[in-house]
Structure 1
Amino acid sequence: MNPTIHSVTQRIIDRSRASRQDYLGRMNELAAQSPQRGALSCSNLAHGFAACGQDDKDTLKLMNKANVAMVSAYNDMLSAHQPYAGFPDIIREAAHGMGSAAQFAGGTPAMCDGVTQGQPGMELSLFSRDTIAMSTAVALSHNMFDATLLLGICDKIVPGLLIGALSFGYLPTVLVPAGPMPSGLPNKEKQRIRQLYAEGKVGKEELLEAESKSYHSPGTCTFYGTANSNQLLVEVMGLHLPGAAFFHPNTPMRDQLTRAATEQVIRLSRPQGGALGLGDMVDEKSIVNALVALLVTGGSTNHTLHWVAIARAAGIIIDWNDYAELSSVVPSMTRIYPNGEEDVNAFHEAGGTPFMIGELLNKGLLHNDVETVVGHGLERYTQMPALESGKLVWRPATTKSLRPDVLSSAAEPFAPDGGLKVLEGNLGRGVIKVSAVAQEHHRVEAPAVIFNDQNELKAAFDAGELNKDCVVIVRFQGPQSNGMPELHKLTPYLGVLQDKGYKVALVTDGRMSGASGKVPAAIHVYPEASAGGPLARVQDGDRVCLDADKGSLSVDIDEAEFASRELARPDLSGYQRGFGRELFGWMRHAVSTPEEGASIFGNQPL
């Protein structure tokens, strides 16, 4: 085992010892009551299966038969979740074939950051994760179930489903992906059209045509943002079936994988003799494996929030120093947009997650001794599913990348480290992803230009006020201010400035997520401005330095003078009413810091 991976894992184990033992103790108490519906009164149970057919009623009367809960984020507006419409019928049929039953236990919200980007709805996005967690708990609270299938794929949805299901971590659980859409307009061309639009060189009609060719069918968006990072990390944690993440929806392979997931979760259930639940599989080693996978692939910076929150739901405490230390020793093995030009389909065709896992296991960069939904040992995930005469089988993954320009070996990576850094200084503490940032842009020192609203930046750009070296500070974008929206709409403008030859960087207490690209961006900076953080004291023209190599984020000003400045206090009421935002006010008041997961569930493990 790589010594740094080992030492970080041991540090997490030591740090989490009390909270992890408390969590496992609670799960063991609940598991001892299984089968859960056996604790229900006759009236309770009759209500629980009243709508079932007679065969399912007969099954559910028996405590030696499994009942599978489906918790789904299906809706037919969002491309990633629309394929889930047909999954319940597939799952019920597979369960019946195993002599068991499956019930649709409940639905959760599923919002798309692509639809809400730059819109008021985006200010509900981060809080939708914890809403999904609570929705999952409501769905499972009926105490009717022996196993769980989680149907969700995108940004806040998979973390929310996991957080909620971990409160029922005594139940075996499998996540069921739906897969990405086929490749559309090449990412390089999409990016080119976006920048032309930002410069006013093409109109809205041309931009919409390009976007429609990029996002064009059912399935997940194909760039390597938070949604596809979710899928890869969950697979490396052993919570999917091996190789399941990136097959397209509405194909025979996808349907067979869904059937197989149902059959497998039934095998894991206590009526079938199983003894392990989700809480046993989400342990310190599997969390470290997820972080390694994130760093190796240059995945979404949103997971410096989400995986902290997931870990805490299992009694495990991780922090950004763990990410940074792991990042220093793991290689960068992928070039997937925005860290390259190709997409997740090319990654999958190159050998995908099974090849990557094999490479990392051989290098001692992943823990093999973990529990997964297909048994003990992560080496089981070095296999790729295939269909033989319509039957699902698993074959050993390729031992050589089929697209070395997209997916490298661990021995010859694209870069020696994972590209995620922690920044700290008199402006606060944040993170930066530099895997797509050229070395000459790792350090930017320039006068600050201050915005309290992301929409102000476009007006300044259009007026030519940003045609200079500058550190753009977009503040009051943290979770307490307005729910911490992603600021993707800033990327084209800042990219244009950089292409013109200006030294430019972004500093924000908001998010950039998987779309963090070629412009250096210090994100998730806290204490946030609304909490009286240093960003609220910075003024236009202050000399700010972002140095990713040294890990520093600072303003060059006398300490006493800086401390004496009055805090900026803009009117934030426009962020907090309309589009349902008034319903989430209590969450803005309750939310923890980004390094604690930006969660309403507090800064302590659940």
Structure 2
Amino acid sequence: MHPVLEKVTADVVERSRESRAAYLARIDAAIANGPQRTNLPCANLAHGFAVCSANEKDALSHAVKANVGIISAYNDMLSAHEPYQHYPELIKQAVREAGGVAQFAGGVPAMCDGVTQGMPGMELSLFSRDVIALSTAIGLSHNMFDAALYLGVCDKIVPGLLIGALSFGHLPAIFVPAGPMTTGISNKEKSRTRQKFAEGKVGEKELLESESKAYHSPGTCTFYGTANSNQMMVEIMGLHLPGSSFVNPYTPLRDELTKAAAKQVLKFTALGDDFRPIAHVINEKAIINAIIGLLATGGSTNHTIHLIAIARAAGIIINWDDFDNLSKAIPLLTKIYPNGAADVNQFQAAGGMGLLIQELLEHGLLHGDILTIGDQRGMEQYSQVPTLQDGKLDWVPGPASSLDPDVISSVEHPFATGGGLHVMHGNLGRGVSKISAVAEKHQVVTAPAMVFDDQLDVVAAFKRGELEKDVIVVLRFQGPKANGMPELHKLTPVLGVLQDRGFHVALVTDGRMSGASGKVPSAIHMWPECIDGGPLAKVRDGDIIALNTQTGEVNVQVDRAEFDARVPTANSATGHHFGMGRELFGAMRARASTSETGATNLFFVD
């Protein structure tokens, strides 16, 4: 085991000792009660299985069969979740065949950042994660279930489902993916059209045609943003069946994997002899594995927020220093857009998760001794790949080396020696930066600041030609307390154009960037956030900012006494707390924690 991995893991275990023990004590108390429905009074139980068959009622009332709850993020507007329409019947039939009962326990909302980017609805996105966690808890609160299956894919959905699942940590759990859509036009071509539109070189007709060719069918978007980072993360923690993350929807293999997941979870209930509650699967080592996977693949910066919240739901305390320290030891092993030209289908064809996990395990860069939901208990089986042999699902050894070295490399010959995720620190606060997709020549920028309080004002300034220079855009009041911390997607084409024109540009903000953002250097998630009087609120137009993403330093070059004496500027952006349902989330904004503690208000945080 790599010494850095050992050290970080030991630090997390020690830091989490009290909170993890308290969490497990609560879970052990729930486990001691046995199958929860046996505690229900008769009238309650009758309500719970009123629509079941007579045989199922008899089995459930005597706890002789396990009851599997299905929590689903299905809706038929969003491509990633549309395939879940048919999963409940597949699952119910598979569970019946395996000697159990399955009930649809509840649905959770699933909003798409791709639809809401740059729109008022995006300001609900981050807190939708917490709503999903709450909705998951409501679905499972009927005390009817011995295990649960979780159906979700995209940005906030999987973190929300996982937080909710951990609050019911006494239940075995398997996450069931839907898979990516087939490949459309290349992500590079899509981005090129977006930049041309930002420059006024093409119109809306051409832009819509390009976007429709990229997002064209059921399944997850094929770039490596937060949604596909979710799938990688859940598999490398052992909550997916091996190799199931990136199998396309509406294929025979996808359906067989769904049925196999349904049967698999029955093996792990308290009614059997191989009890594996999710509270035991998700421990400190599993969380560390998720960070490692994120770094090795150049995954979404959103998980520097989500993974912290997920860990805390299990009593585990991680922080950005853990990401930063591991980033120095974990090499970048994949090139998937935005840090490469390939999409997730090409990643899968090159060897996918099996090859990635095998490479990390062989070099002591992953915890292999974690409890998983596979037939074996460790991670070794996750180097295998699923296949259909005469219509029957089986797992076979994955490729010994990459089938496309331009997409998946090796520890001996990585694309970068570090994972490319750095903690940013200095007199402007503390944040993160992802540099895996940033060319080395752009990783250090010193330039005058231009200060904005709304991303639309940045776009307007660009159109007026005011950004045609070396500039560091400072975008303030974008934190969770200010406006819900929307992703600042509209900045990506604008800043990309300026960079392509030869200017030295960067972004510093207390907000988030898209999981698919890449080539422009940035310091994001900065805290204390501006609404709390953070130092970013003291920056003025023309102040020189030095951003060094290689060393993790971000400083405004103003005399310390002068800067300390400045009064933080008030937020000039208005209208962000009402309309499109935003008024309903006022309590969540007010109680939100910092970005480094998960930007949540679901549980007590430091």
TM-score, normalized by the shorter chain, greater than 0.5: yes
The aligned residue for residue 522 of structure 2 is 521
Q: Secondary structure at the match of 1:122?
A: helix
The answer (yes or no) to whether the contact 1:123–1:485 under 8 Å persists in 2 is: yes
Q: Secondary structure at the match of 2:563?
A: helix
Amino acid at match of 1:405: D
Partners of 2:186 and 2:196 in 1: how far apart?
16
Q: Deviations over 1:212-245 (max 9, x none)?
A: 0000000000000000000001000000000000
The aligned residue for residue 135 of structure 1 is 135
Check if 1:383 corresponds to 2:376. no
The answer (yes or no) to whether the contact 1:592–1:602 under 8 Å persists in 2 is: no
Structure 2 gap segments, 5+ residues each: none
Q: Secondary structure at the match of 1:270?
A: coil
Partners of 1:170 and 1:411 in 2: how far apart?
41
The aligned residue for residue 52 of structure 1 is 52
The aligned residue for residue 11 of structure 1 is 11
The answer (yes or no) to whether the contact 1:354–1:397 under 8 Å persists in 2 is: yes
The answer (yes or no) to whether the contact 1:69–1:149 under 8 Å persists in 2 is: yes
The aligned residue for residue 533 of structure 1 is 534
The aligned residue for residue 217 of structure 2 is 217
Check if 1:447 corresponds to 2:448. yes
Partners of 1:85 and 1:551 in 2: how far apart?
45
Partners of 2:495 and 2:433 in 1: how far apart?
16
Check if 1:287 corresponds to 2:287. yes
Q: What are the residue-to-residue correspondences of 1:540-559 with 2, within 5 Å?
A: 540-559=541-560
Check if 1:77 corresponds to 2:77. yes
Give the C-alpha shift of residue 573 in structure 1. Answer: 4.2
Partners of 1:47 and 1:58 in 2: how far apart?
14
The aligned residue for residue 560 of structure 1 is 561
The answer (yes or no) to whether the contact 2:454–2:573 under 8 Å persists in 1 is: no
The answer (yes or no) to whether the contact 1:64–1:272 under 8 Å persists in 2 is: no
Partners of 1:491 and 1:520 in 2: how far apart?
11
The answer (yes or no) to whether the contact 2:71–2:148 under 8 Å persists in 1 is: yes
Amino acid at match of 2:423: V
Q: Secondary structure at the match of 2:490?
A: helix
Check if 1:228 corresponds to 2:228. yes
The aligned residue for residue 429 of structure 1 is 430
The aligned residue for residue 363 of structure 1 is 363
Partners of 2:54 and 2:489 in 1: how far apart?
52
Amino acid at match of 2:451: I
Partners of 1:98 and 1:572 in 2: how far apart?
57
Q: What are the residue-to-residue correspondences of 1:369-518 with 2, within 5 Å?
A: 369-374=369-374, 375-518=376-519
The aligned residue for residue 63 of structure 1 is 63
Partners of 1:388 and 1:54 in 2: how far apart?
37
Q: What are the residue-to-residue correspondences of 1:159-170 with 2, within 5 Å?
A: 159-170=159-170
Q: Deviations over 1:334-383 (max 9, x none)?
A: 11000011100000000000111000000000011100011311101110
The aligned residue for residue 254 of structure 1 is 254
Amino acid at match of 2:40: L
Q: Deviations over 1:254-313 (max 9, x none)?
A: 110010001000011112233220000000001001100000000000000000000000
Partners of 1:237 and 1:362 in 2: how far apart?
17
Give the C-alpha shift of residue 603 in structure 1. Answer: 4.8
Partners of 1:250 and 1:45 in 2: how far apart?
36
The aligned residue for residue 171 of structure 1 is 171
Q: Secondary structure at the match of 2:9?
A: helix
Amino acid at match of 2:467: L
Q: Secondary structure at the match of 1:574?
A: coil
Q: Secondary structure at the match of 2:258?
A: helix
Q: Deviations over 1:556-594 (max 9, x none)?
A: 111121122122112454000000000000000000000
Partners of 2:9 and 2:504 in 1: how far apart?
38
Q: Deviations over 1:323-342 (max 9, x none)?
A: 00000011100110000111
Partners of 2:190 and 2:552 in 1: how far apart?
32
The answer (yes or no) to whether the contact 2:182–2:248 under 8 Å persists in 1 is: yes
Amino acid at match of 1:177: P
Q: 151-160 or 513-522, which moves further after superposition?
A: 513-522
Amino acid at match of 1:265: V
Partners of 1:54 and 1:426 in 2: how far apart?
68
Structure 1 gap segments, 5+ residues each: none
Partners of 2:213 and 2:578 in 1: how far apart?
34
Q: Secondary structure at the match of 2:540?
A: coil
The aligned residue for residue 329 of structure 1 is 329
Identity across the alignment (%): 60
The answer (yes or no) to whether the contact 1:357–1:381 under 8 Å persists in 2 is: yes
Q: 452-461 or 595-604, which moves further after superposition?
A: 595-604
Amino acid at match of 1:383: Q
The aligned residue for residue 598 of structure 2 is 597
Q: Compared with structure 1, are the counterparts of its residues 602 and 545 closer, same or farther at alpha carbon in structure 2 (3 Å cutoff)? A: farther
The answer (yes or no) to whether the contact 2:358–2:383 under 8 Å persists in 1 is: yes
The answer (yes or no) to whether the contact 1:66–1:272 under 8 Å persists in 2 is: no
The aligned residue for residue 24 of structure 2 is 24
Partners of 2:535 and 2:587 in 1: how far apart?
24
Partners of 2:452 and 2:572 in 1: how far apart?
13
Q: 265-274 or 245-254, which moves further after superposition?
A: 265-274
Give the C-alpha shift of residue 505 in structure 1. Answer: 0.3
The aligned residue for residue 198 of structure 2 is 198
Give the TM-score, by structure 1 length.
Answer: 0.99
CA RMSD of aligned residues (A): 0.9
Partners of 1:275 and 1:515 in 2: how far apart?
38
The aligned residue for residue 301 of structure 1 is 301
The answer (yes or no) to whether the contact 2:459–2:490 under 8 Å persists in 1 is: no
Q: Secondary structure at the match of 1:575?
A: coil
Partners of 1:244 and 1:196 in 2: how far apart?
37
Amino acid at match of 1:551: G
Partners of 2:560 and 2:400 in 1: how far apart?
56
Partners of 2:124 and 2:344 in 1: how far apart?
27
Partners of 1:593 and 1:188 in 2: how far apart?
34
The answer (yes or no) to whether the contact 2:483–2:577 under 8 Å persists in 1 is: yes
Extract structure 1 runs of 4+ deviating beyond 4 A.
none
Q: Secondary structure at the match of 2:102?
A: strand
Q: What are the residue-to-residue correspondences of 1:28-47 with 2, within 5 Å?
A: 28-47=28-47
Partners of 1:70 and 1:275 in 2: how far apart?
19
The aligned residue for residue 111 of structure 2 is 111
Partners of 2:276 and 2:256 in 1: how far apart?
24
Amino acid at match of 2:339: N
The answer (yes or no) to whether the contact 2:593–2:605 under 8 Å persists in 1 is: no
Give the C-alpha shift of residue 52 in structure 1. Answer: 1.8
Q: Secondary structure at the match of 1:394?
A: strand
Give the C-alpha shift of residue 99 in structure 1. Answer: 1.5
